[in-house]
């Protein structure tokens, strides 16, 4: 095992190791001369070369370069903007370049400019002297230190809210060192000026004293905050390192170094659950690891290096090397430690012997089994495999685990399978082309979902999809999402024609669940490709998404069409309202004319809200029938004078005529005639006649015994005889004018027969009068008539004459046994007679 442990450096009970992430790493630049920023989680590295030169000569224009973690130069561009003070990566792997005027420029990983924002106007005068980018619970934050030694901070650059932190009393120079902390989701700044340490937050500035430091301290020159913001380290000008909690409540240790100068870089080298956190400092080319053990580890580097703290160690970047320094994880220590008797170590040994076909394999196995530790042994090998970087080593550990598994019945397979899968993904990520050399703990912390985002960011769509499928991530979360991003990228390819892009996108995406074509279209629109956006929107099934974008692109006609297709009236109204404000009235009406659904909806709207517009609409399309109706309606609801009403009705007549609706025209004319007549009557008699129907008017006249006028109306309005007779007899009966009624009945042959006379008398409880008319009733109804007036005798007689059994039965049903005994007998006799024949 000497081979594995060769690079291990003991540090107390544990070991530290440092290894090359990529063997053929090469960065051309001399790191001493540039701003450098590397994103955590094996992210990209950005350089701003010559960036620190204050004087700007054109020949020395800074150059921005971005490398992948595998040393692949992604982009190199001359910097054309202002003086950059600091560069840093956001959690989404966007590069922030903070300029001394407070402007922050955002570029993506490919160096494409995305947007910029400002850290406030007050910076303009004082300039930015220093800045930092830091991860927060909400995303990424930025803090700047101004020339007036004030801090301004934003916790989320995507939802920019600037907070100006309070002044630090007596701060006349820039602080000697400072760092950002997140505590309870709140950002704080720790700063040191001389021997004073302050914690700044939104509202206050608190002086703190790191516990357990001797009085000899004159000043703090460096500060380091751990990856998780929980720990803090300070370097004093006396060469001491204070390590403790970031709340300054607990001290971890104070280590003495012999360095009097501050280290160039000072970072934590930690891992989750470690008992032995350490800090790493660089003095020139010397890298020193210190911690609570008295020992230190020192590495001499050949060139300038840059340290990148990670969750489980530190990346060390130089021009010719990209290394990773970390505490050897416990499982690996257990297995590979010299002379280790840990079950995992024995299992690995056993498997090696087994490969060699040596019986020693059995001995080792036995030894593990005797201690009943085979389960642990397998677990250990699996875990160690995850923490080894070299695929060969991973394989031999996994093979050992797999070998050990054979001797355990029912070993749950998932840990093994999961690890094998994860390692395949990790090894694929570490590939030179991809360049994301994640360690297993980093990967677990980052999660597969975010890892896929990072692949999408790097436009490695096919790989991302393959991984999703391999890791069985749901379509919605995986493939669909990636395809959507692919499509969004695709629409930005300016050299391809709209048609082929739209087709290519639809071909790939089809009806894949969860794809939002409108989002892709929005992207296309953003890139100024309206036609492409429209083509893409064709594929969008959700009209609710389609329509607003179309409106935004000023394709209101199309938006209207889509809104109508959706069947969602609200959407149609939205477009119509938009059109109404956007177009002149004529064009607006024309547009509606071609869209009957929209037109009807708009009519509905107008009917309640803008009746006048409704009229214009009908006018526009020569809808005379509706115009006629409109005037009729308005004669009721708008007009308050007789002239007004007549005028409105006259307009209605005209329109009905134009609509060739003869009936309506004529009947409306008739209405006008009646109105005028009623008005006259009303004036003459002082009684209300207006708005009675013709029928009611005649009735009112009859009741007032104005028979002549009634007659007049009957003739003028050509009331059918039948109805007039009905009218007259009911009016007379109501007045109890029986004499007149009788006279009327004899005036000529009744067009309605005489049954109504009987009925109306009975209705007004006058059977005596009723009886007068029964004789005249037609034979079919005579029996009914007699029953009605209560003359059952006559009824029976008539029915018997008519030999109508049915009628006899009806009479029978009206008889009561007590009073009508004789009639019952008669009926029975008559019935018998009919039967006989």
Partner 1 sequence: MTRLKMAAHLSYGRVVLNNLREAARKELREFLDKCEGSKAIVWDEYLTGPFGLIAQYSLLKEHEVDKMFTLKEGHIPPAEVKNIIFFVRPRLELMDIIADNIRCEHKHHGPPRDFHILFLPRRSLLCEQRLKEQGLLVHFTHIEEYSLDLIPFDSDLMSMEAESAFRECYLENDQTILFSVAKGLMTLQALYGTIPQIFGKGECARLVANMMLRMKREFAGTQNQILPVFDKLLLLDRNVDLLTPLATQLTYEGLIDEIYEIQNTHVKLPPEKFAPKKQNESGRDLSNEPKKLQLNSAEELYAEIRDKNFNAVGSVLSKKAKFISAAFEERHNAKTVGEIKQFVSQLPHMQAARTSLANHTSIAELIKDITASETFFDKLTVEQEFMSGIDTDKVNSYIEDSIAQKEPLINILRLVCMQSVCNNGLKQKVLDYYKREILQTYGYEHILTLNNLEKAGLLKPQTSTRNNYPTIRKTLRLWMDDINEQNPNDISYVYSGYAPLSVRLTQLLARPGWRSIEEVLKMLPGPHFEERQQLPSGLHKKRQQGENRVTLVFFLGGVTYAEIAALRFLSQMEEGGTEYIIATTKLINGKSWIKSMMDKLEPSLF
What does the DSSP 8-state code read for residue 173?
S
| C-alpha distance across the termini of the chain, in Å | 132
Helix, strand and coil in the chain, % to nearest 5: 45, 20, 35
Give the nearer residue to partner 1 in terms of CB position, either 146 or 671.
671
What does the DSSP 8-state code read for residue 59?
G
Give the nearer residue to partner 1 in terms of CB position, either 280 or 674.
674
| Whole-number Å distance between alpha carbons of 204 and 200 | 6
- The answer to whether the CB of 573 falls within 8 A of the CB of 605 is yes
**Token pair of 631 as six digits:** 């005037």
| Whole-number Å distance between alpha carbons of 318 and 299 | 14
- 730 near partner 1, judged by CB under 8 A: yes
Name the one range near partner 1 by CB under 8 A: 293-301, 425-433, 570-578, 770-778. Answer: 570-578
- The answer to whether the CB of 175 falls within 8 A of the CB of 213 is no
Give the nearer residue to partner 1 in terms of CB position, either 331 or 559.
559
Give the nearer residue to partner 1 in terms of CB position, either 405 or 645.
645
Give the nearer residue to partner 1 in terms of CB position, either 323 or 626.
626
Rg (the chain; Cα; Å)? 50
| Whole-number Å distance between alpha carbons of 473 and 306 | 37
- Classify the C-alpha dihedral 271-276-279-285 as positive or negative: negative
Per-residue interface string for the shown chain with partner 1, residues 608-647, x marking contact by CB under 8 A: xx---------------x---x--xx--xxxxxxx--x--
- 574 near partner 1, judged by CB under 8 A: yes
- 577 near partner 1, judged by CB under 8 A: yes
Task: Return all residues near 710 (Cβ < 8 A) that are at least 6 apart.
Answer: 698, 701, 702, 728
Q: Name the 3-class secondary structure at 792.
A: helix
- 573 near partner 1, judged by CB under 8 A: yes
Residue keyed to tokens 């085979």: 374
For the chain, counts of helices (H) and of strands (E): 34, 29
Stretch (H or E) spanning 750: none
What does the DSSP 8-state code read for residue 793?
H
Kindly state the smallest distance separating residue 401's Cβ from partner 1, in Å: 37
- 76 near partner 1, judged by CB under 8 A: no
Name the one range near partner 1 by CB under 8 A: 162-170, 236-244, 387-395, 511-519. Answer: 511-519
Kindly state the smallest distance separating residue 448's Cβ from partner 1, in Å: 20
Give the nearer residue to partner 1 in terms of CB position, either 134 or 630.
630
Name the one range near partner 1 by CB under 8 A: 16-24, 226-234, 454-462, 512-520. Answer: 512-520
- 680 near partner 1, judged by CB under 8 A: no
Which 530-569 positions form the footprint of partner 1 (CB under 8 A)?
A: 541-542, 565-569
Residues across the chain: 837
Name the one range near partner 1 by CB under 8 A: 7-15, 121-129, 193-201, 720-728. Answer: 720-728
- 679 near partner 1, judged by CB under 8 A: no
Residue keyed to tokens 């790097």: 458
Kindly state the smallest distance separating residue 595's Cβ from partner 1, in Å: 11
| Whole-number Å distance between alpha carbons of 266 and 9 | 20
Which 451-480 positions form the footprint of partner 1 (CB under 8 A)?
A: 475-476, 480
Name the one range near partner 1 by CB under 8 A: 127-135, 439-447, 489-497, 664-672. Answer: 664-672
Name the one range near partner 1 by CB under 8 A: 114-122, 282-290, 553-561, 605-613. Answer: 605-613
- 748 near partner 1, judged by CB under 8 A: no
Residue keyed to tokens 């060699």: 356
Strand order across the 251-256 sheet: 220-225, 231-236, 240-245, 251-256
Which 346-385 positions form the footprint of partner 1 (CB under 8 A)?
A: none
Residue 102 main-chain phi, psi, to 5 deg = 90, -5
- 806 near partner 1, judged by CB under 8 A: no
Give the nearer residue to partner 1 in terms of CB position, either 369 or 508.
508
- 750 near partner 1, judged by CB under 8 A: no
- Tell me, by CB under 8 A, how many residues bind partner 1: 64
Name the one range near partner 1 by CB under 8 A: 211-219, 689-697, 734-742, 811-819. Answer: 689-697
| Binding test (CB under 8 A) with partner 1, winner from 91, 394, 591, 671 | 671
- 593 near partner 1, judged by CB under 8 A: no
Name the one range near partner 1 by CB under 8 A: 188-196, 266-274, 344-352, 598-606. Answer: 598-606
| Whole-number Å distance between alpha carbons of 213 and 219 | 12
Of 133, 162, 134, 167, which is closest to residue 150 (Cα–Cα)?
167
- 688 near partner 1, judged by CB under 8 A: no
Kindly state the smallest distance separating residue 542's Cβ from partner 1, in Å: 5
- 105 near partner 1, judged by CB under 8 A: no
Q: What are the angstrom distances between the C-alpha of 154 and each of 35, 121, 157, 205, 618?
A: 22, 14, 6, 18, 58
- 687 near partner 1, judged by CB under 8 A: no
| Whole-number Å distance between alpha carbons of 519 and 526 | 10
| Binding test (CB under 8 A) with partner 1, winner from 10, 211, 462, 513 | 513
Kindly state the smallest distance separating residue 504's Cβ from partner 1, in Å: 20
| Binding test (CB under 8 A) with partner 1, winner from 211, 272, 596, 779 | 596
Give the nearer residue to partner 1 in terms of CB position, either 93 or 759.
759
- The answer to whether the CB of 128 falls within 8 A of the CB of 140 is no
Kindly state the smallest distance separating residue 834's Cβ from partner 1, in Å: 25
Q: What are the angstrom distances between the C-alpha of 453 and each of 38, 56, 156, 467?
A: 18, 38, 19, 12
- The answer to whether the CB of 814 falls within 8 A of the CB of 792 is yes
| Binding test (CB under 8 A) with partner 1, winner from 537, 571, 646, 795 | 571
- 678 near partner 1, judged by CB under 8 A: no
- The answer to whether the CB of 774 falls within 8 A of the CB of 805 is no
Q: Name the 3-class secondary structure at 658.
A: helix
Give the nearer residue to partner 1 in terms of CB position, either 121 or 641.
641
| Whole-number Å distance between alpha carbons of 626 and 599 | 14
Q: Which residues bind partner 1 (CB under 8 A)?
A: 475-476, 480, 511-514, 541-542, 565-571, 573-574, 577, 596-597, 600-601, 603-605, 608-609, 625, 629, 632-633, 636-642, 645, 663-664, 667-668, 670-671, 674, 690-696, 717, 719-720, 722-723, 726-727, 730, 752, 756
């Amino acid at each position: 095992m000497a081979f594995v442990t060769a690079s291990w450096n003991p540090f107390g009970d544990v070991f530290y190791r440092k290894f090359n992430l990529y063997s053929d790493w090469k960065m051309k630049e001399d790191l001493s001369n540039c701003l450098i920023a590397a994103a955590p989680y094996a992210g990209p590295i950005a350089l701003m070369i010559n960036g620190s030169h204050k004087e700007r000569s054109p020949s020395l224009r800074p150059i921005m370069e971005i490398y992948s973690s595998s040393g692949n130069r992604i982009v190199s561009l001359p910097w054309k903007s202002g003086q950059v003070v600091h560069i840093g990566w956001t959690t989404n792997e966007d590069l922030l370049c903070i300029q001394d005027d407070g402007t922050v420029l955002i570029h993506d990983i490919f160096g494409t400019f995305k947007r910029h924002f400002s850290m406030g106007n007050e910076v303009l005068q004082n300039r930015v002297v220093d800045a930092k980018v830091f991860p927060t619970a909400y995303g990424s934050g930025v803090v700047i230190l101004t020339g007036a030694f004030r801090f301004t901070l934003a916790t989320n650059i995507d939802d920019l809210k600037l907070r100006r932190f309070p002044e630090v009393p007596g701060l006349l120079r820039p602080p000697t060192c400072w760092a950002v902390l997140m505590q309870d989701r709140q950002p704080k700044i720790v700063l040191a000026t001389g021997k004073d340490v302050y914690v700044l937050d939104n509202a206050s500035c608190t002086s703190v004293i790191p516990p357990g430091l001797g009085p000899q301290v004159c000043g703090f020159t460096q500060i380091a905050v751990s990856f998780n913001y929980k720990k803090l380290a300070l370097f004093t000008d006396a060469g001491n390192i204070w390590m403790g909690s970031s709340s300054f409540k607990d001290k971890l240790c104070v280590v003495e170094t012999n360095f009097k100068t501050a280290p160039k870089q000072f970072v934590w080298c930690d891992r989750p659950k470690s008992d032995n956190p350490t800090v790493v400092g660089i003095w020139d080319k010397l890298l020193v690891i210190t911690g609570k053990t008295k020992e230190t580890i020192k590495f001499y580097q050949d060139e300038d290096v840059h340290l990148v703290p990670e969750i489980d160690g530190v990346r060390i970047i130089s021009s010719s090397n990209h290394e990773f320094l970390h505490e050897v994880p416990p499982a690996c220590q257990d297995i590979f430690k010299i002379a280790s008797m840990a079950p995992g170590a024995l299992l690995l040994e056993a498997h090696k012997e087994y490969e060699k076909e040596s019986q020693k394999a059995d001995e080792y196995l036995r030894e593990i089994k005797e201690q009943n530790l085979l389960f642990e042994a397998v677990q250990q090998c699996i875990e160690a495999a995850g923490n080894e970087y070299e695929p060969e080593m991973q394989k031999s550990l996994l093979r050992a685990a797999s070998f050990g598994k054979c001797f355990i019945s029912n070993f749950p397979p998932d840990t093994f399978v999961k690890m094998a899968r994860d390692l395949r993904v990790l090894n694929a990520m570490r590939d030179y082309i991809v360049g994301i050399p994640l360690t297993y703990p980093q990967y677990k912390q980052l999660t597969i979902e975010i890892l896929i985002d990072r692949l999408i960011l790097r436009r490695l769509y096919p790989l991302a999809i393959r991984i999703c499928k391999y890791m069985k991530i749901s379509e919605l979360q995986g493939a669909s999402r990636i395809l959507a991003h692919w499509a969004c990228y695709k629409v930005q390819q300016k050299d391809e024609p709209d048609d082929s892009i739209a087709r290519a996108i639809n071909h790939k995406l089809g009806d894949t669940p969860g794809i939002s074509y409108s989002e892709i279209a929005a992207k296309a629109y953003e890139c100024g490709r309206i036609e492409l956006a429209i083509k893409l929107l064709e594929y969008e099934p959700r009209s609710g998404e389609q329509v607003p974008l179309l409106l935004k692109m000023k394709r209101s006609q199309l938006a209207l069409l889509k809104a109508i297709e959706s069947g969602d009236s609200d959407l149609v109204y939205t477009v119509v309202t938009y059109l109404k404000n956007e177009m002149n009235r004529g064009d607006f009406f024309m547009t509606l004319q071609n869209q009957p659904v929209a037109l009807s909806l708009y009519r509905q709207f107008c009917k309640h809200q803008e009746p006048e517009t409704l009229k214009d609409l009908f006018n526009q399309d020569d809808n005379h029938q509706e115009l006629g109706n409109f005037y009729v309606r308005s004669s009721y609801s708008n007009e308050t004078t007789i002239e007004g009403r007549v005028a409105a009705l006259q307009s209605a007549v005209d329109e009905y005529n134009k609509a060739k609706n003869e009936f309506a025209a004529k009947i409306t004319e008739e209405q006008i005639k009646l109105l005028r007549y009623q008005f006259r009557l009303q004036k003459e008699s002082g009684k209300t006649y207006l708005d009675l129907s013709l029928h009611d008017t005649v009735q009112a006249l009859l009741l007032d015994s104005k028979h002549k006028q009634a007659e007049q109306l009957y003739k003028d309005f050509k009331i059918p005889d039948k109805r007039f007779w009905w009218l007259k007899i009911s009016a007379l009966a109501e007045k109890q004018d029986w004499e007149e009624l009788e006279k009327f009945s004899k005036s000529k042959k009744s067009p309605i027969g005489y049954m109504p006379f009987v009925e109306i008398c009975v209705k007004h409880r006058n059977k005596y009068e009723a009886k007068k008319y029964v004789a005249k009733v037609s034979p079919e109804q005579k029996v009914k008539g007699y029953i009605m007036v209560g003359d059952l005798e006559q009824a029976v007689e008539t029915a018997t004459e008519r030999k109508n059994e049915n009628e006899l039965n009806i009479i029978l049903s009206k008889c009561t046994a007590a009073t009508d005994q004789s009639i019952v007998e008669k009926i029975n006799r008559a019935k018998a007679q009919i039967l006989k024949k």
